Amino acid sequence: MSTMRRAWRLTFTACALALLAACSETPKTTGAEAGMRLLTEPQYRQIIADVFGQQITIGGTFDPLVRTSGLLTVGASAARITPAGLEQLDRMARSIAAQVTSEENRDFLLPCAPADMRAPDDTCAAQFFGTTGRLLLRRSLAEDEVASLVRLANVATRELGSFHDGLASALAGLLVSPEFLFVIEQAEPDPKRDGALRLDGYSKASRLSFFLWGSAPDDELLRAAEAGELHKSSGLAKQVDRLLESPRLEEGLRLFFDDMLAFETIGRLEKDAIIFPAFSTAVALEAREQTLRTLMHMLLDEEADYRDVFTTRKTFISSALGRIYRIPVSRPDGGWMEYEFPEGDPRLGIATHVSFTALHSHAGRSSPTLRGKAIREILLCQRVPDPPGTIDFAAFNDPNSPAHTARDRLNVHSIEPACAGCHKLTDPVGLGMEHIDGAGQLRTNEDGYAIDASGSLDGFEFQDVAGIGPALRENVAAPACLVNRLYAYATARVPARNERKYLKYLEGEFADDGYRVPALLRRIALDEAMYAVKAPSTRTARVTDPVTGDPS
Amino acid sequence: MTVLLPRPVTRRSVLRGALGGATVGLSLPFLDLFLNENGTALAATGAPLPVRFGTWYWGLGHTPGHAIVPKTRTAAGIEFLTECQALKPHHDQLNFFGGFNMPLDGRSNYTHFSGWVASRTGTAPSTNSEIPAPTLDLLVADHLSNNNRFKTLDATACGIARENYSARSTNSRAAAEASPEKLYARVFGMEFADPNKADFKPDTRMMVRRSVLSAVNDDRKKLMQKVGASDRARLDEYFTSIRQLENQLETQLRKPEANQSCAIPAAPRRDGAEQNMPQGLEVDTVIANHRVMAQMMAMAVACNQTRVFNMVFSDNFSHMRRPGQTYTHHLLTHEETPDKDLGYQPVAFWFNCRTMEAFATFIDAFANIREGDGTLLDNTLIFAATETNYARVHSVDGVPVFSVGKAGGRIKTGMHVVGNGDPITRIGLTMMQIMGVPVDNWGTRSLQTSKTISEILV
Amino acid sequence: MKLSSGTPRVIHGFAACAAVVLLCLPATASAQQGTLGFVITLWNLGSHETRFVDECPEGLNVGYDEYWWRGLSKPDRATLTENGLKSRLQRYFNAIRRGPNGEDVCMNPTAVTDPPLLLVEGDKAIGMDLDGKDGVAAGRSCPHREFTGIDGTAGVDNQLYRLLGCVYGFRSYGQVEANENENRKSNGKGMTLIEITGVDDPRNDPDVTVNFYRSIDLYTLDGSGRFLPHGSYRIDMYNGKPRYGSSVRGKIENGVLTTIPGEVNLPFYGNYTYQNRLFRDLRLRMTISPNGDSAEGMAAGYLGVDDLMFYVGSIGPIQSTTISNCPSIHVAANQIADGHPDPKTGDCTTLSSAFVFKAVSAFIVHDKGMRTAGAGRGLLDRLKGVFK
């Protein structure tokens, strides 16, 4: 990515925006209460990698989160830690701590060495906890906090006979402490507005950092928070631009799309080995990587129009994917190559990627309904109602005219009133993708029977899967969906009612910006809405999802 | 370790709704010499052997008309049909509950979801992801004394860790151990204290860990003041989990009593290439993993690592499949045309039969461990249920439920209990009462009940 | 296809055409702008075997081991074989050196004179008519008995089969072939790529070019070890040109590719022996599956006696299971060779042969400047690591 060009572009955009901002009015929001959200698994991993390095391995299972407003990150704002979950986190913490203090790592991960390896060294311990604790707890530690960590390490060292083991014990405690595992936001009185609240500097830093980098604030961002710079628009802008220009933006945006595209189960995706022998877990993981690479390249490197992700022919292919897509791969021994699907190939855009078509299929066959539902819910942020409880398919299965293709199987769903309401949201979309089988491979027939792959999406008709991309591109819900998801991700909660106008405004600005994602990220990060906080209500708050009605 | 003398559990005391105090403080394993002549009680104190509670889950119900012969009145004797043939040898360990309904009071029947949520929590969910109350196993676990290493042990044979049918609330749901290796590592891994090993030294590292955790606790008050009301409940749950972990360490620091029933199982069988057992939803894989995990779970219970356990065979959408087939168990229940001569969906039926065979395997695992004068199963109570009666139509009325085990002699077995349309929560209520949970009514709205199923009480 | 009834007919027509075209998406899996590619997965001697070994009326041949111990006195036999307890493999190193001066008789097949090799006496064989009706008369080939093909073809020439068909090891159950295929499958040596270029219609094209390369990438297998189609394979290149790279012309009729006889050098690996196999007058007949994912066929042509004997001789200790004997094969091979007479001596120097093979579709990657993977390169890399 060309940092110089991007920086120039951002500056230009910033100036333009500043002028526009002076003219246009950003709708005001009152936000929501300061929240407390659990670190998600990707965030946890990212933080450990950022603080201690990629060489630290993390095993173990995290408690599952409930996808809310389309994002696990939002579900994390209501998540709790079960005893079994904490047991796992404790095991992870001890393993991480042991690795950090291991012989191979201690020389460069610890800022100092003890005078005697078998005895406590409070000075060294204090140095370590001062710096590391700050990065892990996302705030500076008070003297007494450092002191108590040092004391803990001291006692542990004496029990265990090793400075490093003692240090590791205390570090493990830090890694299961609630202030590490939970991002606990704090509000303070806003000196600029009487009676109102604002998020404190550390909370702003966390929100910003988790939004753009998917990780805890780095040392510089914490310093800016401590200096009060994040409360000033120039100070905030400086940090926002720094985060946007960093290569870590890509990691952060990957985490976002991983969440939005629901890739967390893709590593477990299994396909029938006889029907789809070319599919394997490696293929599934590479499929995810293909889509993320494509998105990062288009949205960050090329700063393309977001809607083009649905119609682009350009992507990246690995050798395992080459076998699924039936594409020659010039690096069959591994690695990625850029590839452009030729004219006439019906595969355009991320909705035709294996990461989408195979993920939303069954193990042994495709699924127009699952795909249609995924397009609606994931890419367009529309809700497909649940199937009705009592429905008997007996009336539909005619043993004398067996259904050969998916279209035949689903036909009755589009006729029967109880089914049609929802199925007409999903099936016409998904049926248009039937030229792609359950493993993401192109096909011309289903078991020898011709496939009629005509479909439609909100009035946009198409003859086959080549049409799904353009249909998505023209659908106004698609960019609006990204805006909504990004904002929910940034605030880690379901958007509040008072934010709806702001979101509409953002959607308009996104369009004016040519649907460029870095510009949108910058807008969200600089606008007041993202940091707006209100006082807790006097009655016991019971936060519910305005869309699903789910309670917290 | 305290041992409380229990009040005798009589039908009278149940009817009076006063079952509290039947806590069995003894949760550590014991030697034969503690048994009286009948092998059924501790010699000195007269307290019975610890009773364990567990749940077993299977997806997609039964094939009506081919599973259990329906009855009109509660009576002894369960008649198994073809689908449940495998359960015949276990007749005397089972009770079957048929004809209990699940009134949803106008809330949607969220397919494959409402069924298990309502029957395990007592409340019908109002969204497709809501778990409105703790599942009954957690209520039992909360009540039983905390002297075991794990509060509950949850595992699943189909590899989907998040499909754990034990949860405290929507957002408080642990991942189940999803493979034999994971279950083994958790229970019998490095931290397992072998009760039959001669030498025992409290591990210094565990003592250090205990200090570390108690330091974490120190922040509690300060932190509680920092957060809003709803978040306080979440923080509270976190600190409860910390306490559970401290408890676990306490258990590990005590010398376990010798336990004849406890024998460390072999690590899960690995292929020659040092690979883990295959994972996935192919039905043979699920069956194989389930067999191994059932044995491990039973031994974990026999070794008193936990008193409450949850095992899932197939998930609520049962994605089980056969190699080379485009259908999954679930798709079959909807798309397979019933055979006009047989009167049912043959391949879906096949899957259901395999499921019941697996159920029998699970029962075997507990029945094969000797404990005292009988078996582990004699001292266990298992709530075995599914989420639907007939998967094809997602019906939640008449959802089949079994109880397994003699609960330490507290229940009769071999009964076919007929619900006559009563709410299914009667079953959960009764089981909780048998386990000593001081509850005299359970559930909300039309699922609320206080009617114990006294026919199965001893 | 849903089009509203008001749409003009012409558009219906175009739409119908478009639908047909789209439904007929290129089914040939590894088509790259008029190119088809395949990688050979199984390669076996075209050996026609009957259940009761009718083609070898005098039974199968004796191997080197028996010739060895038969030539020993009984006491020597007892000592050297430990009364028969030493396995054939264990006594191989003695047995193979049964030349009068201790020569290894596979390296020096003329060091001993053994009874003649039992040849195939049957009438039927797998193969093609390589020398035409008047091959002998025209001096193209040496006199030899021809077979009738199992598909009915008259005048089939397959002297290699005649030679090896009654040698246990070279029959289908005899390990040589099975080992070869297993070796190649796992170590990726001796992998042949078949590239068909100039293809306008993958099912019917009167004029195509067929190129043969060696792959430097291993096979891709699925979870059960089956070969997967549509993989990409890089060509072994040397100094910017493909190593191998023989080319012949051919045609495709109803999905069957046949080629005009030509000289083709193929990479060969089997039983730890690496060899260039130069086939003269090679003809290919390959049937491509309707969806283009796989192919199978026959390659028939003349294989040099020297090339063959190099391989037979290199099998080494595996001969303890193949029950073969190099000297007899050597003599017989030279005697029954039927192709490419030496201009000076008039003796034929090649054996007609037929091999049956299976293949899966492949993308053949031409990557100019690719260096060959191999010991040489590895050494270079290791040196680079040392002298950083």
Q: At what angle do helices A41-52 and A122-137 cross, to 10 degrees?
A: 140
Chain A contact for B334 (CB, 8 A cutoff): yes
d(CA A238, CA A216): 18
Chain A contact for B115 (CB, 8 A cutoff): no
Contact predicate B298/B289, CB 8 Å: no
d(CA C48, CA B235): 78
Contact predicate C304/C278, CB 8 Å: yes
Chain A neighbours among C 305-364 (CB < 8 Å)? Answer: 363-364
CA proximity to A165, closest of A116, A211, A102: A102
Give the 3-state DSSP-derived string for A459-490, with helices as H, strands as E and coil as C: CEEECCHHHHHHHHHHCCHHHHHHHHHHHHHH
Chain A contact for C12 (CB, 8 A cutoff): no
Q: Is the Cβ pair A155, B211 closer than 8 Å?
A: yes
Reported ipTM = 0.89
**Does the pLDDT value for residue C240 go beyond 90?**
no
Q: Is the Cβ pair C232, A346 closer than 8 Å?
A: no
d(CA B118, CA C235): 63
Q: What is the pLDDT of residue C134?
A: 81
Chain B contact for A144 (CB, 8 A cutoff): no
Q: What is the pLDDT of residue B146?
A: 75
A362-401 residue pLDDT tens:
999 999 999 999 999 999 999 998 888 766 666 555 656 6
pLDDT tens digits in sequence order for chain A, 552 residues long: 567 777 777 766 666 666 555 556 789 998 899 999 999 999 999 999 999 999 999 998 999 999 999 999 999 999 999 999 999 999 999 999 999 999 999 999 999 999 999 999 999 999 999 999 999 999 999 999 999 999 999 999 999 999 999 999 999 999 999 999 999 999 999 999 888 999 999 999 999 999 999 999 999 999 999 999 999 999 999 999 999 999 999 999 999 999 999 999 999 999 999 999 999 999 999 999 999 999 999 999 999 999 999 999 999 999 899 999 999 888 777 789 999 999 989 999 999 999 999 999 999 999 999 999 999 999 999 999 888 876 666 655 565 667 778 888 788 777 777 788 888 889 999 999 999 999 999 998 888 888 888 999 999 999 989 999 999 999 999 999 999 999 999 999 999 899 999 999 999 999 999 999 999 999 999 999 999 999 887 654 455 544 444 554
User: What is the residue whose two structure tokens read 């500056």?
Assistant: A11
Picking from B129, B146, B166, B171 by the largest number of A CB atoms within 10 A of its own CB, the best residue to mutate is B171
Contact predicate C47/C298, CB 8 Å: no
Contact predicate B29/B262, CB 8 Å: yes
A548 vs B127, B208, B239: nearest CB: B127
d(CA B11, CA B19): 10
Task: Compute φ and ψ for B327, nearest 5 degrees.
Answer: -90, 150
Higher pLDDT, B135 or C243: B135
A273 vs C2, C222, C367: nearest CB: C222
d(CA A212, CA A246): 10
Q: What is the pLDDT of residue A397?
A: 59
Residues in A whose CB is inside 8 Å of some CB of C read 273, 277-278, 280, 319-320, 322-324, 326-330, 332-333, 346, 435, 442, 444-445, 450-454, 461, 463-464, 466
> Residues of chain B whose pLDDT is less than 70?
1-48, 269-276
A328 vs C27, C32, C222: nearest CB: C32
Average of per-residue pLDDT across C52-56 = 94
Question: Residue C285 is inside which H or E element, if any?
Answer: strand C273-288
Whether pTM exceeds 0.95: no
CA proximity to C193, closest of C234, C225, C227, C252: C234
C44 three-class SS: strand
Chain A contact for C223 (CB, 8 A cutoff): yes
Q: What is the pLDDT of residue B24?
A: 22
Question: Which residues of chain C are within 8 Å of residue A322 when distances are taken between CB atoms?
Answer: 230-232, 363
d(CA A79, CA A282): 31
Q: What is the pLDDT of residue A200?
A: 95
Contact predicate A431/A468, CB 8 Å: no
Residue B325: Cβ within 10 Å count? 18
Percent of chain C with pLDDT over 70: 86
- The nearest CA of chain A is from the CA of C30 a distance in Å of 6
Question: Which residues of chain C are within 8 Å of residue A444 when distances are taken between CB atoms?
Answer: 23-25, 27
Q: Is the Cβ pair C22, A463 closer than 8 Å?
A: yes
**Does the pLDDT value for residue C375 go beyond 50?**
no
C76-116 residue pLDDT tens:
999 998 988 988 888 898 899 999 999 999 999 999 999 99
Q: Is the Cβ pair B326, A156 closer than 8 Å?
A: no
Neighboring chains of B (3 or more beta-carbon pairs < 8 A)? A
d(CA A270, CA A362): 9
Contact predicate A205/A224, CB 8 Å: yes
Task: Report angle CA B85, B89, B91 to the nearest 5 degrees.
Answer: 90
Q: What is the pLDDT of residue C319?
A: 84
**Does the pLDDT value for residue C14 go beyond 50?**
no
Picking from B137, B151, B231 by the largest number of A CB atoms within 10 A of its own CB, the best residue to mutate is B231
Q: Is the Cβ pair A160, B173 closer than 8 Å?
A: no
